[in-house]
Amino acid sequence: MTTLPLILAVLAGMSNAVMGVLAKQAERSACRPVVMPVLFLGTVTVIAACALPVARSGWGDRWLWTLAVGMGLGYVAALQSMLLANRSCPPSLVWSLTNLSLVVPIALAPLLLHESWKPLDGLLIAAFVAMLALYRLGMGQTGEAAKVPWSQAWLPLIGVFFSNGLLMLGYKVKMQHWPEVGAFPFIVLIFGTGALLGLLAVCRSRTRIANVEWQWGTLMGTAAMAANFCLLGAVVLPAVVAFPLIQGTALVGGTLLMLALFGEPLNLCKISGLCCGGLVLALAMLR
């Protein structure tokens, strides 16, 4: 296993952690859910489009277009599912399902992409699930998340799980079937689709975008661009290595950043979750 994809996986996770901090700050600045997706997706599209003149492209392949546009619609579905789920469920439950959705590409990769499992993989996944469970328990103990029945929002929660999981699988499919196509054209197709749909929603609502929303939306988009670029280089790794490594780095890094910047409470369960996160990273590297 080469070193560069491992480094890119860690960088993708760190970029996602930064994006989580920016999203937290956007929430504190009262940025509106209808506005943030178009700014976030549009910024990624613009940055990637600037690199198109030097990118390896594959504009003529209709199946690549189909995959990218489908993933763009998937991003819109994921964002909307999260917004709907957050209305009736604690954010920690939505956050947990978003991260746990990595089991979708891990389960489907052996069937669709002919990847093989190794004995160490079961321990790696168990450590990741334990990390999520400990984080959620820790958030409940500190009062950051109330317990609610899943039945209150089962449909958007299912949407969160499968839309995010299938998006991860889409990146694997791209690198398996179109490795010669550069990252930037693919990112433009994905995020451009989502940005256009978001722009239509903003135009229909006749919403005026505030300066603070421009600020946090473009910063989130910049972090997302870095995360996607690194992710496309990292998914040459097996799904059972790439996604736990990316998500584990994001969770551990995000927790430490939230602690340092916002003073979010830390307890024994969260510390145990951090230790499990360290185990996830170590197992992924060993794998």
Reduced 3-state DSSP string for 28-61 = HCCCCCCCHHHHHHHHHHHHHHHCHHHCCCCCCC
What pLDDT, on the 0 to 100 scale, is given for residue 62?
82
Residue 212: pLDDT band (50, 70, 90) is very high
* pLDDT above 70: residue 287: no
Looking at per-residue confidence, does 166 or 278 come out higher?
A: 166
**pLDDT at 223 exceeding the cut of 80:** yes
Tens of pLDDT, residues 140-192: 666 655 555 555 567 777 888 899 889 999 999 998 888 888 888 889 999 99
Instruction: Give 77-131 as a DSSP string.
Output: HHHHHHHHHHHHS-HHHHHHHHHHTTHHHHHHHHHHS-----HHHHHHHHHHHHH
In this model, does residue 107 exceed pLDDT 80? yes
- Reference 270, options 143, 175, 185, 178; nearest CA is 143
The pLDDT of residue 230 is above 90: yes
CB-based contacts of 169, cutoff 8 Å, min separation 6: 104, 105, 108, 109, 112, 239
Q: Is 134's pLDDT higher than 90? A: no
Task: Please determine, for residue 33, whether its predicted confidence score (pLDDT) is greater than 80.
Answer: no
- C-alpha span between 41 and 75 (Å, rounded): 9
- Selection from 98, 69, 73, 67 nearest residue 83 by Cα: 98
DSSP letter, residue 150: G
Category of 114 on φ-ψ map: left (φ > 0), alpha (ψ -120 to 50) or beta: left
Q: What percent of the chain has pLDDT over 70?
A: 88
Looking at residue 144, its pLDDT comes to 57
The span from the CA of 197 to the CA of 76, in Å, is: 8
pLDDT for position 259: 75
Tell me the mean pLDDT in the region 258-277: 77
Is pLDDT above 90 for 3? Answer: no
Share above pLDDT 90 across residues of the chain, in percent, rounded to a whole number? 21
In the predicted model, what is the mean pLDDT of the chain?
A: 82
> Residue 139 class from Cβ within 10 Å (0-12 exposed, 13-18 middle, 19+ buried)?
buried
